[in-house]
Amino acid sequence: MPPRERTDDNVTDPRQRQRRLSNLHARIANPVDAYEHCRVYPCTNGTTADRGEGLNRLYCRKHIEFYRRHGSYVKRSYGAGEIRPYRVKALQWLGAHVDEQSVRLSVAGVQRLYRAAGAPIEAFRLPGKTPAERARAMWAQLRMQKVDPLEVLAVWMAVDMRLRDDPQLDRHDEYRQVQAAKLIHRMAGGTHKRWERGRADGRIEITEVHKHPVSRGQVLRMVGRELSAACVQLAIPDQ
């Protein structure tokens, strides 16, 4: 076998090789430099990896949580009041174009999501379910409440219209999808229970329990992507 050339990429000296390896191990064990601080300007928090709290080498815990909730590390969600006028406008447009093929196909897409969703799951039973199960539960909830698919399409259109009016918009698909999913989440609502119990003194005791699933995480991404796929044919009108 011909002798191998000694270059920087091809270290044959065992001592030098050992030095390089231990150097590499040290770097993996103690991330430094670029990984120390959160990427979001001007946040000075340490990344979770740097603080030994997680594996994220780019963002701090606060901004990871922000991203899970809003679909963006920096841009907060639109408020319901901000979106409402766009939903009204979208619903009017849909009502006037309900016979167009693009609208009919999108309605059929939402109906497919409704049908595939299976039985609704009470909010109390959602913890521990997978994001896919939670996404189906959201669609099942809308089906059970007989929410008109046009209302669902109006959500998608409203977010799109709101984004177009926003000089500081976040152009990522993920932000758009999470914003729409948050509105769907709100429409699906929570689980509300009420018990009446007769007491010994003859009075009626009423117990109410309200549980709303938290609006964050993978489930929003899944619902948003499903809605986006259902609406792929939908032409968003110029305002």
Are 20 and 9 within 8 A, CB to CB? no
Cβ neighbours, 10 Å, residue 207: 9
Q: Give min distance, CB of 76 to Zn ion, in A.
A: 14
Q: Judged by CB under 5 A, which stretch of 42-50, 64-72, 122-130, 171-179 contacts Zn ion?
A: 42-50
Q: Give min distance, CB of 73 to Zn ion, in A.
A: 8
Q: Which residues have C-beta within 8 Å of that of residue 62, sequence separation ≥ 6?
A: 38, 43, 45
Q: Which is nearer to Zn ion, 43 or 236 (CB)?
A: 43
Nearest Cα to 219, choosing from 124, 116, 138, 106?
138
Q: Which is nearer to Zn ion, 45 or 111 (CB)?
A: 45
Read off the tokens for 138: 């959201």
Q: Which is nearer to Zn ion, 61 or 112 (CB)?
A: 61
Phi, psi (deg, nearest 5) at residue 192:
-125, 130
Read off the tokens for 71: 């679909």
* Range 49-68, binding Zn ion (CB under 5 A): 60, 63
Asked if 43 is part of the footprint of Zn ion (rule: CB under 5 A), the reply reads yes
Q: Which is nearer to Zn ion, 41 or 195 (CB)?
A: 41
Size of the site for Zn ion (CB under 5 A): 6
Binding-site ranges for Zn ion (CB under 5 A):
38, 40, 43, 45, 60, 63
